[in-house]
Structure 1
Amino acid sequence: MDATLPSPLRAAAAGPYGLAVRLRNHAYSRGWVPLKHLPGPVISVGNLTLGGSGKTPLVAFLVQALLERGRRPAVLTRGYGRRGPRDPRILPPGVTPVRPEIEIGDEAALLRRRFPRIWMGISADRHAAGSAIAAEAPDSVFVLDDGFQHRRLHRDLDILVVDPTRPLAENRLFPLGTLREPFAGLQRAHLVVVNAPPHSPGAVRALAAVRSVAGDMPVFHCIQRIGSLVPYPEWRTGSASPPPAFRAAFLAAALGNPGRFRDDVERLGVQVRGSAFFRDHHRLGPRDWARCLAGARRGAADVVIVTEKDAVKISAPPDFPLLVACQAVEFPEEGAFLGAVVRALARA
């Protein structure tokens, strides 16, 4: 269903979509549809809205935290945008596809790049993928990427990520708005992570919205920012190198929330001289790059900045200075947040 449809068509589609979502949720909530279980603990990270809210960086944060605590995390993800067979794709530690961005999708490829030594299961059927991994690694802790609406799988900790740059309580269901399901659905979560500094105006509004429907549910804050700008060749090889000196930049990205990306770049003090944003998960081709470079030259930009999610899909970089914005995740309440995760694992 296309959110760019004319308003009358979107209004006509909203009714059946909303009814289907409510009936599905009601069936699961009443226990009419049995849940499937995996033999190990399951942590789900998801959201209520379409587009980027910071789920995948939070998944990476959790995987790193589990590794540091001696656990064996295994990521389960749909692999959105991948091509080829739809059978579950199981990646044992140390195994990476030749073209991961094509074979398992851009977000899964990015996670694989960062964590090449963990188990990963890429499939729309997360239970099937998790069961296959559990047969080989029975002590796995499963981290479910974008799992809030994947209700068929039992989870021991349901984390809901809220992006304050998107409407919440006043939002509407897709395609009239960006909600995947009614806002009250957040009551299913075990805890909420607001992707903003604790006392920022957006975080305050988000907290009030959460409290209006979920009472005293635990709420934490994470700060996702650009930790570094790395020249593309060095990013590709994993070598360390400072970015070249530059005055202005052109942004090129295929994201669910490009406005957040632009804000993050500008917070670094970078002067943005133009941008070209594409639909989420799009892979930039030669025509796209020609458009971007024309815009960069027109705006007298010295560099083009892309996200890691875009960089992982580049096979032939453009003939222009290219920087990759590498994401960093911080938790002001890190001890309390990870304590909640550890307690959930102990109860599983």
Structure 2
Amino acid sequence: MGTVSNFPYRVVTDDVHGPLVSVLKFFLWVLSLVYLLAVTLAVWLYRSGILKQHRLPCRVVSVGNITVGGTGKTPLVIKLAQIYKQNKLKPVILTRGYMGRGITGHNKQSDEVTMLREILPDVPVLSGADRIRNAEEFLENNQADVFILDDGFQHWRLARDLDIVAIDATNPWGNGRLLPRGILREPLYALRRADLLILTKTDLGAPPIASIRQRLKDIGCRQPVVETVHKPAGLTDLKTGTPRELRIIAGQTVCALCSLGAPAAFAATLTRSGARIQKAFNFADHYVYNVTDIRSILEHCRRNHIGIVITTQKDAVKLADLRDEFQKARDVRLFSLHVELTFRDDTGENAFLKRILDLS
């Protein structure tokens, strides 16, 4: 089985070429002009007060991005919640959640929501499109010190006290074009609205960090820019639920399995952990796996004498209904890789802590 590619994503990131693709890109460029007009109008309506922002009775910290795809926003949300808990505050996460259908055909809870609830069992995670209503209903019978608004940079309807934007250092702005011709959700100058910029995966970045910082200065960004890395923290044997140390994959030939917006970063993290990737099964972002997918992967492992498949924590949630297939394959082990967001230096960490804890 070949890798399941996301053709539309490959088009907008200029990974595919050809006469017909060029025509398609032209139409996407025209649509991006319409999109720019809509985004510009929406921002102006809210900033001018014609459209009213709703303010909750407690603090709101937004964590968002300016591109589609995997920027590393989820580890940042987890880090925030953990820091607030450590400081005796009551955080609540507001997320829209991406719903899909499992192999039974029934609606499933978002894999990201499930993962957040597993990692943060003592932090309420409210999932749903109307995040304002979810927050207000929660406050009717519960207390909260701070709401963490997941994917909130473009959620202009809800006022926030702090706007944090995650920027993927491995692919900070794609080809520099707006949706649907590129991966930008807003023009780059919109980053000036943010209070804090977080560069993620800086240890894997292809562009030099200095060039990213210079670009931010060129567009007028004067807020703190904090560098972070996604540090591998361990493994879980998904057949037994047993935690395992990273060293067991060092020097091992493995297959990687994920459905992420940025699969290359996952592969790079595995490689830095000492694994040798024989094949990466990269599915489209938010893909819902089926039995045929898993059986094909396992057959590839048997043919090539691969005894380990490694996936992400998010994908581990989506694979829960399919673990019986792996249980039958006694010669193939399935692990999920845990990563945590860490800071590259004390200066960045101190700037981050000061900004998120000083919301008065």
**TM > 0.5 fold call:** yes
| Structure 1 residues 230 and 119, CA gap change in structure 2 (3 angstroms) | closer
- Aligned partner letter, 2:314: K
Aligned to 2:213: 207
1:275·1:295 contact (CA, 8 Å) conserved in 2? no
What is the rounded CA distance, in whole Å, between the counterparts of 2:66 and 2:33 in structure 1? 18
In the alignment of these two chains, the number of paired residues is 327
| 1:230 CA drift (Å) | 2.3
TM-score, structure 1 length as denominator?
A: 0.87
TM-score, structure 2 length as denominator?
A: 0.84
Aligned to 1:57: 75
| 1:28 CA drift (Å) | 1.8
- Residue segments in structure 2 that go unaligned for 5+ positions in a row: 1-6, 12-20
* Residue of structure 2 aligned with 1:247, choices 243, 249, 252: 252
Are residues 1:175 and 2:168 paired?
no
| 1:213 CA drift (Å) | 1.6
- Aligned partner letter, 2:39: V
Which stretch of the first structure deviates more once superposed, 214-223 or 307-316? 214-223
What is the rounded CA distance, in whole Å, between the counterparts of 2:204 and 2:301 in structure 1? 36
C-alpha distance after superposition, 1:220-276 (max 9, x if no partner): 1111132212211344xxx43447566201111111111111111111121110111
Which stretch of the first structure deviates more once superposed, 35-44 or 17-26? 17-26
What is the rounded CA distance, in whole Å, between the counterparts of 1:184 and 1:277 in structure 2? 32
What is the rounded CA distance, in whole Å, between the counterparts of 1:293 and 1:83 in structure 2? 23
1:52·1:257 contact (CA, 8 Å) conserved in 2? yes
Aligned to 2:160: 155
* Residue of structure 2 aligned with 1:125, choices 125, 130, 147: 130
| 1:193 CA drift (Å) | 0.5
Matched residue of 1:74: which SS?
Answer: strand
Aligned to 1:220: 226
* Residue of structure 1 aligned with 2:98, choices 80, 88, 91: 80
Aligned to 2:4: none
Matched residue of 1:221: which SS?
Answer: strand
Matched residue of 1:293: which SS?
Answer: helix
What is the rounded CA distance, in whole Å, between the counterparts of 1:160 and 1:202 in structure 2? 19
Are residues 1:328 and 2:334 paired?
no
Aligned to 1:165: 170
What is the rounded CA distance, in whole Å, between the counterparts of 2:39 and 2:298 in structure 1? 42
1:82·1:102 contact (CA, 8 Å) conserved in 2? yes
Which stretch of the first structure deviates more once superposed, 1-10 or 124-133? 1-10
1:275·1:292 contact (CA, 8 Å) conserved in 2? no
* Residue of structure 1 aligned with 2:353, choices 322, 338, 345: 338
Which stretch of the first structure deviates more once superposed, 291-300 or 125-134? 291-300
Structure 1 runs of 4+ with >6 Å offset: none
1:273·1:300 contact (CA, 8 Å) conserved in 2? no
What is the rounded CA distance, in whole Å, between the counterparts of 1:241 and 1:224 in structure 2? 18
| Structure 1 residues 145 and 303, CA gap change in structure 2 (3 angstroms) | same
* Residue of structure 2 aligned with 1:265, choices 270, 290, 310: 270
| Structure 1 residues 254 and 15, CA gap change in structure 2 (3 angstroms) | same
What is the rounded CA distance, in whole Å, between the counterparts of 2:143 and 2:229 in structure 1? 33
Query: Map of 1:85-96 to 2, 5 A cutoff?
Result: none
What is the rounded CA distance, in whole Å, between the counterparts of 1:323 and 1:198 in structure 2? 23
What is the rounded CA distance, in whole Å, between the counterparts of 1:313 and 1:199 in structure 2? 26
2:191·2:221 contact (CA, 8 Å) conserved in 1? no
Matched residue of 1:316: which SS?
Answer: helix
C-alpha distance after superposition, 1:43-73 (max 9, x if no partner): 1100000011011110000101111110001
Matched residue of 1:230: which SS?
Answer: strand
What is the rounded CA distance, in whole Å, between the counterparts of 1:169 and 1:260 in structure 2? 15
- Aligned partner letter, 1:41: R
- Residue segments in structure 1 that go unaligned for 5+ positions in a row: 85-98
Which stretch of the first structure deviates more once superposed, 142-151 or 199-208? 199-208
Aligned to 1:90: none
What is the rounded CA distance, in whole Å, between the counterparts of 1:247 and 1:40 in structure 2? 49
Are residues 1:9 and 2:14 paired?
no
2:62·2:148 contact (CA, 8 Å) conserved in 1? yes
